[in-house]
Amino acid sequence: MAAHTEPTVLLLTRSDVASLISISACIDAMEEAFRTHANGGSFGIGMIHGERDHVEWHLKSGGLELPTPVYALKANSASFLNPQRFGLPSIMGAILLFAADRATLLAIMDSTVITIQRTAAATAVAARALARADSCRVTVIGAGRQARAHVLALHEVFPAASFVVSSRNPDHAVALAHELSTREGIPTRSDGDARTVCEGADIIVTCTPAREPVLKSDWIQPGVFVAAVGADSPDKNEIEPALFGRARVITDITAQCAAVGDLHHAVDSGVMSVSDVHATLGEVLAGTKPGRVSDQDIILYDATGSAIQDAAATALVYEAACSEGRGTSMALWS
């Protein structure tokens, strides 16, 4: 990784970040990050969650032993009332990137695009590893920015697939399907009924802020790959716990999923214990544990978003910024 001249720090805005990261490069970076983690090449992983009224915060930190080791610290706030009340994004935050071998702060950058891209990219990595190879029908429950990113990412790894998006707000689903079909050229339709769009699906992704399940166990047929993406705080819950009892469960970070993911609700309901988790995604990618064994397996990937993803994606952006001369250098300690 190119080193920025000390003691300056590189400041990257949201538009900078958006222009420096591609979904295809992010998918490759996420696969490397999870495999590195499984092989013992991560360190200092932590998370703090806080809430007040309709606002929640989380801090995630973690490092990776990349060719140049890096450490990322992300602070995000979320309020899904922001767009209506203040005309602001529902999620806002920043990431600090450090050179781990020199304890040097390299960059401060907007976290929104990175969070969206690395989340969708990780789902694409998981789907490529765990969904049936002949998967061709993808359902995304949710119609926000994360849903859009997931269609783009999954289209990268399943280019022949067709997509359907569903939302509690049908107008949002219609608008997203139209935009993806016309602007991105990805065959996408919309349907407001979540149960209907799960019929015949090979891959199902939930990316909502729901606090009650939006996906029921009896909607899921053998062979389906489910990615539960939205639950990243203790009160969020997208997946009916009974599905965990039918599925081979894979996590991004098991301890984190047991604290704030849909796994948390499955354990609390007595459907399974943490020890029943089959593997982490990294273990599957590293080949230390098997993923899909049969075409009849229901695979449930519980993803809460990890700091190793932030570290990998932020390092990717930083390298591109240094190469292209982007961003603003600040003498923060002068």
Catalytic residues: 74
Spell out the alpha helix ranges (H) of 44-130: 82-86, 112-130
DSSP structural state of residue 253: S
Helices in the chain by DSSP H: which ranges?
14-20, 23-38, 82-86, 112-130, 145-157, 170-182, 194-198, 242-246, 254-260, 262-268, 281-286, 307-324
- Which residues lie below 8 Å from residue 52, measured CB to CB, with a gap of 6+? none
Helical residues (DSSP H) of 131-169, grouped into ranges: 145-157
Pairing, β 70-78 against β 91-99: antiparallel
Q: Judge if the upstream peptide bond of residue 7 is cis by omega within 30 degrees of 0.
A: yes
Count of CB atoms within 10 A of residue 322's CB? Answer: 17
- Sheet with 55-64: list strands edge to edge: 42-52, 55-64, 70-78, 91-99, 104-110, 9-12, 328-330
The tokens 């199902």 sit on which residue?
204
CB 300 within 8 A of CB 249: yes
Question: What whole-number distance in Å separates Cα of residue 159 and Cα of residue 161?
Answer: 6
- Beta sheet of 162-166, edge-to-edge order: 188-190, 162-166, 137-141, 203-206, 225-228, 299-302, 248-251, 279-280
| β partners of residue 200 | none
